[in-house]
Structure 1
């Protein structure tokens, strides 16, 4: 009996040490991102400005408003005119510069707060996180309360799958009766969307759609192979993710543009569903296959260390091994990437609302930086610069009603803005290095944005990230 008591004391002591170690690890990690905190007593907390002599790319139509003034009051665009008089306010002279709406990345996976700074430094002022975990609700609360500098933050709940286990990161539903309580719970807890995923059976999918409609919650769909592709054109589903899913499911890897056209037509006819191609993340498979040293590249220093050690490495190993087994796999991946570009061309020609998403945060797809690669692919598809920019501004903002306050420069809209040196309708590359980023009207200069990059580079928070993922496995299963 004494031995048992002693053993229990040792076990409880070890548990206590582990818990304390975990708490300290997470606390230290939170200190590491304290540079993002908004100090209400510092000038950077100011959210009211008068911008003068600026050329505006409003994005509600294909035009430039030359030499205007913009009055930002408490984070909202109050007035746009040739002349505005306001007393006691900081004036920003933007002569020869261009003001555009901030960019929106509609498909990301956020792993830590460092990534929020990476998005801002690349002109991304709103993100749609599609791998919901408890830590994302805490980030969202900090953003809503204006505690941190961050893009506007929208997040789905955990990924919903069917009865077959396809990974510990997915939430398996075995019975449609579970769905109602689950969807209601996610909405009550603060998740913005329902994310349906690969492997969702028809009866469960029906239950998700039914309850999402009752709960007035939008669905974002990674297509499930358990139902016809047309099933994802339900009005409750506001966007479909990944061009490769068209290849993998309705086309069964047959890269046939004739067979593709009816699929494109059906998406266009739905008239309520956006499409998020995420060309970049698939192209990065090709990049891994042609560059054996890519995991050691400087750019990968911006990836979360847990993701780099686990997911980046696993993906690289998978495709490296495929390449050893089959010499034709590299050309097949390249051909499929080229076919994805054809899909985007046809979606655009058919009038489908294309929204820009990158799938950043997994594999080797970098947070923030990747949006510029994605936009270049749309340009390669034949879209004009204005049409490309629409995918990451106005098109994205009209996908969900909760995002309608962004995406254009108009009176009453949120002041999520970029001030850039060149006209992006002529040079999209100017978006990669904004002079100022305004998020809810708060101004971040280039020096601050570069500092955010440096803080995120080679960060040492692998254990903290692992603990947050463990929290998800414990509390969301």
Structure 2
């Protein structure tokens, strides 16, 4: 059993909720405007009745008499939306049984309105973490987990690769993550076995496999929009030389034959692949802003000094090599924005993702950087919200249960002061977070953030 105390800062009623693993509490949130994400309309002046962790009723304020609850929260005109996603996360692993880093990451996500997380480098401790959250023992978002990645150093033969797929399916992982370094026969064994078992897979594009073969053999998600620039380079031998290509083929962007792009977009649509663009990873890790300038930005106070230093050390060699100049970086970032919008406007579904915690991307906070970059690239507010709500649910075939606000769906939603369809900045300051019917107010979220900050105090 866990107790959540509501003491909201904007005159919500003071209530006490006692919850259990089955999320048995019932409450009513009145006087709210609902961004349901079933469409781009706002349901003004409504109330939401939550019971046993699900949305039982949604009615207009004028129909208040049709619903009743002993526990009522006055929404004061706030806007309710289904929350955000981080669909490319590197969830920390436990440290010799110590799960503190994992638990801190979960609070960082919740405090930023991130209610669903897809792990992309798996570990057995993640399965335990997921179970603790699902049972109600631990606070956290919905987790969808990959197993340990398939890469050149972990795969030794097609037979061994196929067995890895079977083992991860049996262990209970939700999908498979592929890294670079796979040979074609190894990749085909992974794809064949995963398709037979009904396990989704995706990730980076191995150079010996290429984008086309990856898509044609069942890649469900392409991480970082990887493989596209390489597929556009006429002389593929240059892609294979890291000294020429640079990280993620950055230095070859001006050699890309853009006349090939429509065919690749059509193939992406035909094969049903999804995109996890992680724009902020490239803006920060491979951007021209010096690494040292990230050391003291506000959200770094939630990371240890050692972690921040390791991120600086990861970027510094690229700076020292002369790769990360504005002249090299800006055309590459411009290309990524163009690719992102071309795929999006063609109808390729996007998954909100930032690759956290990864270089200068703090869990939860980095999603707001991703949102800003998606907006700057030209995506509408509605489509941005969709990439963090409806799309992730559809990705796992659960769109009837979460990612939307409707009767019968799980009570996963966030209250903010302004209409997020008009103001993306409001997403940074949740007024109230509800996760499977559990309630977290501003005071509780701040308390958890303060605890993490105090642990990593630089004083």
TM beyond 0.5 = yes
- SS of residue paired to 1:223: coil
Distance 1:344 1:287 in 2: 17
Q: 1:122 to 1:222 in 2, by over 3 A?
A: same
Equivalent residue number for residue 16 of structure 1: none
Distance 1:459 1:316, change over 3 A: farther
- Divergent runs of 4+, >4 A: 39-42
Distance 2:173 2:449 in 1: 28
2:300 — aligned with what? 300
Taking the aligned partners of 1:62 and 1:142, their CA distance within structure 2 comes to 35
2:372 equivalent to 1:376: yes
1:62-104 Cα shifts (integer Å, max 9, x gaps): 1111111211111111121222544443111113211100111
Match runs of 1:181-196 below 5 Å: 181-196=163-178
Contact 1:239 1:399 in 2 (8 A): no
Equivalent position to 1:339, from 313, 330, 335: 335
In the alignment, what sits opposite 1:72? 50
Q: For structure 1, list consecutive stretches of 5 or more residues without a partner in the other structure.
A: 1-36, 166-171, 462-477
Give the structure 2 partner of residue 54 of structure 1: 32
* Deviations, residues 205-225 of structure 1 (Å, cap 9, x unaligned): 111112112222111222211
Task: Name the count of aligned residue pairs.
Answer: 412
Give the match for residue 200 of structure 2: 218
1:241-320 pair list within 5 angstroms:
241-248=223-230, 250-251=232-233, 252=239, 253-255=252-254, 256=256, 257-270=258-271, 272-287=272-287, 289-290=289-290, 292-303=292-303, 307-310=307-310, 312-320=311-319
TM-score, with structure 2 as normaliser: 0.84
Question: Which sits farther off after the overlay, 415-424 or 135-144?
Answer: 135-144
Tell me, yes or no, if the aligned pair for 2:269 and 2:348 is still in contact at 8 Å. yes
Listed as ranges, the matches of 1:127-276 within 5 Å are: 127-162=117-152, 165=153, 172-234=154-216, 236-248=218-230, 250-251=232-233, 252=239, 253-255=252-254, 256=256, 257-270=258-271, 272-276=272-276
Q: Report the Cα distance in structure 2 between the residues aligned to 1:313 and 1:189, rounded to whole angstroms.
A: 35
Structure 2 vs 1, CA of residues 206 and 92 (structure 1 numbering), >3 Å: closer, same or farther? Answer: same
Report the equivalent of 2:109.
Answer: 119
In 1, the alpha carbon distance for the partners of 2:216 and 2:352 equals: 21
Structure 1 Cα separation of the partners of residues 123 and 454 of structure 2: 24
C-alpha separation in 1, matches of 2:288 and 2:333: 13
Cα distance change, pair 160–403 in 1 and its aligned pair in 2 (3 A): farther
TM-score by structure 1 length? 0.81
Q: Is the 8 A contact 2:291 2:315 kept in 1?
A: no
> 1:362 matched to which residue of 2?
358
- Matches of 1:276 and 1:149, distance apart in 2: 26
Query: How far does the alpha carbon of each residue in 1:124-179 deviate from its partner, in whole angstroms, 9 at most, with x for none?
Result: 011001010122111111011111110111110011013xx4xxxxxx11111113
Measured after TM superposition, the shift of residue 250 of structure 1 is 4.3
For residue 368 of structure 1, report the CA deviation from its aligned partner: 0.3
